[in-house]
A = this chain, B = another copy of it.
């Protein structure tokens, strides 16, 4: 599904900034940082608009934010299947952060287990970040 269709399917206005963010993530096939997206967006990048579009796309379930550390954030495209379910990404999979090359990989196959929370606690969402070395950096 191309960027225009993604937006149409979510009933979100098609604008240059949003198209550029989605295309950047589709091109690279892996979660990217703001700066990485910025470089792919070229002249269509505006910092304020970027933040607002990230919120919009994230709220719509088109992308998800991966917080590896407070100064280390990536944005990943959700899978196509999630096009009509805004919350499908939640509780879905783990993320791997390579401490050497700083890349982030979505580990679709690692599902987040059901944790046994203390009495009275209710879980709505959870995130797992696994840090280490990816296959390229691990020699």
Contacts and interface: CB of A to CB of B under 8 A. Distances in A.
A105 B123 CA distance: 13
Given A110-B116, A128-B126, A121 B94 contact: no
Contacts of A96: 117, 121
A130 B107 contact: no
Contact of A132 (B107, B110, B125, B133): B125
A118 B133 CA distance: 11
Given A67-B70, A99-B124, A121-B132, 15 more contacts: A96-B121, A109-B116, A110-B115, A110-B116, A110-B117, A112-B128, A120-B134, A121-B134, A121-B135, A123-B132, A125-B130, A126-B129, A126-B131, A127-B127, A127-B131
Interface of A: 67, 69-71, 73, 94, 96, 99, 107, 109-110, 112-113, 115-136, 138
